Each structure stands twice: as structure tokens, then as C-alpha cells.
Amino acid sequence: MGTGWREGPLFGFELREYLLVRWGRACVYCGVKGVPLQIDHLRARSRGGTDRLSNLVLACAPCNSSKGGRPVAEFLVGRPELAARLLALAKAPLRDAAVMNSTRYALCARLGQSGVPVSGWSGGRTSANRARFGLRKSHVSDALCVGESPPGDRIVRRAAVVLLVGCTGRGSYRRTTPDRFGFPRPTRPRRKQFHGYATGDLVRATVPRGKHRGRYVGRVSVRSKGTFALAHASGRIDVHHSQLVLLQRGDGYRYDWGRDPAGG
């Protein structure tokens, strides 16, 4: 972590939360719980210990003051196994839920120092909100229930139509496509745009005649010859680039208005 990272307004709070999660809300030396815990340097600063998270533990006031600046092994001289376990634990990576929680606290601490208001929120609090508003679990209802409730405890109404955003990517870096034996076929074109369009662009097509006569809105897959594949709401047709009007450049995402797919 860089210099100055400890100066954010939330840092003290987030650091304490991080250490409480990491050390199980107990004094690492005597195991006492439910008392105020102090941040202790495993290796004292007077002995070259750093402020890095891996050097910080939580200790009750009596343990902290009796340890003083002594090395852990000396303070815990009668309990060498505990000393060894602490030193090993401090270096060990965090696991599972602890990783998630601690990463969240560390991330909040880092973001908080940028000056932007940052707050953390847990899945449990989201689920409590969802229950309060009587919503079923879905990405949309979670999005409505994350964070502090509006003042006055307004009821969140389920949105009838929501904007659904999906990832489509921006194409491929591959310059060849293998044939069915795995040998590369002639290289793909180096350009992405043909006749002013790139794959993924949102267009409106007006087809004047033929089987597919009509107007369509959808995303194109471009081909060098000028006849593109257009994926619209109910199928896929071939269109000529001269029949198209660009509505939006492809940006790697798909946008659709629709019902919450998981909602009731």
C-alpha cells in the first residue's frame, strides 16, 4: 500500500473491521472477547515492524501493555505453539468469507482516501431490505435494496420494465479461425469496420422488398462484402449496408428493455 493510505476518514473504522474479522473479534494473545481491543504490532515498530496489515493484530489492553515492544516469541515464551501459530497466521492468506469481508474493508479503506464518500454494505442487510419490501430475490430487486433506505422508509415498488444490460464483448483478438482439424484458416481481416459499421453496432434496417420486407432494429455482424447479418428481436436476416441507419455504436454491452427475468 502506498504512503498516505492511512489518512482517509474511514480508514480507522475499516481497518478495525478488517482486523476484527481477521482475528475473530478476540485478543490474539489471551483469547478474551467482549472487551475493547487495541491494534498491536506483532513486531514492534521500535524493532523495525511495519504498519502493513500482515503485522497488525488485536490485543486487549492488559496483553498489549504487558507485551510492550518485546518480540512475540519472547512475550509468549511459555506458549511457543501460540507464538508460532500467530506468526504463521499473520502471513497466511485469508480464506473464503474472511477473504471477501476483509477485501471489502480494505477496498473501502483504499477508496475512502480518494475523498469520495464510500460505504460498505452486506448481503445480509440487502436481504433484510428485500424481506421488508416483500420482494423476491433477483438481480433487479437486489439492486433496489442495496444501500441505505430512502428517508421516511418509502416502499420500493418493483419496476415493471427494467433496463437489462448484458456483456457482448468487442470482438476477438484471434487473427485466424481454425478449421475442423485445428489448422488455421486464412487470416481474418485486420479491420473491424466495413462500410462504416462494426460488429455489435445497433442499427435500424429498412428492407424495401422481398421476403423480409419491413423495418428491423438490432445488432449487425459485419462482412467485408457489404451484406451483414442482423440479429433483431425475433430472428436473424441478411441486410445490405445501404439499408441501415446507425443508432448506436457497439460498446461491448447489450441493452434491452424488458421484465426482470427472475422477478415475479
Looking at beta carbons only, is 29 or 228 nearer to Zn ion? Answer: 29
Per CB under 5 A, the list member of 15, 27, 145, 220 interacting with Zn ion is: 27
Cα(47)–Cα(50) distance, integer angstroms: 9
Backbone angles phi, psi at 238, to 5 degrees: -90, 135
- Which pairs with CB-CB distance under 8 Å and at least 24 residues apart come from 122-130? 129/156
Q: Is 203 in the site for Zn ion (CB under 5 A)?
A: no
Where does this chain touch Zn ion (CB under 5 A) — which range of 26-34, 135-143, 154-162, 239-247? 26-34
Looking at beta carbons only, is 63 or 237 nearer to Zn ion? Answer: 63
Per CB under 5 A, the list member of 58, 60, 76, 83 interacting with Zn ion is: 60
Cα(172)–Cα(166) distance, integer angstroms: 17
What's the closest the beta carbon of residue 76 comes to Zn ion, in angstroms?
Answer: 11
Looking at beta carbons only, is 83 or 144 nearer to Zn ion? Answer: 83
Where does this chain touch Zn ion (CB under 5 A) — which range of 42-50, 54-62, 170-178, 187-195? 54-62
Per CB under 5 A, the list member of 9, 25, 30, 206 interacting with Zn ion is: 30
Q: Is 23 in the site for Zn ion (CB under 5 A)?
A: no
Which positions ≥6 away from 122 have C-beta within 8 Å? none
How big is the site for Zn ion, counted in residues (CB under 5 A)?
A: 5
What's the closest the beta carbon of residue 23 comes to Zn ion, in angstroms?
Answer: 11
- Residues linked to residue 165 through DSSP beta bridges, in sequence order: 255
- Taking alpha carbons only, the member of 241, 219, 222, 242 closest to residue 231 is 219
- Taking alpha carbons only, the member of 185, 238, 235 closest to residue 207 is 238
Burial degree of 63 (CB within 10 A; 0-12, 13-18, 19+): buried
Q: Is 29 in the site for Zn ion (CB under 5 A)?
A: yes
Site for Zn ion in 213-242 (CB under 5 A): none
Looking at beta carbons only, is 86 or 230 nearer to Zn ion? Answer: 86
Q: Is 163 in the site for Zn ion (CB under 5 A)?
A: no
Contact 248, 202 (CB under 8 A): yes
Q: How far is CA 5 from CA 152, 217, 240, in A?
A: 36, 49, 56
Where does this chain touch Zn ion (CB under 5 A) — which range of 56-64, 81-89, 189-197, 204-212? 56-64
Where does this chain touch Zn ion (CB under 5 A) — which range of 63-71, 116-124, 178-186, 195-203? 63-71
Q: Is 63 in the site for Zn ion (CB under 5 A)?
A: yes
Q: How many CA atoms lie within 13 A of 247 on its CB side?
A: 13
Contact footprint for Zn ion (CB under 5 A) = 27, 29-30, 60, 63
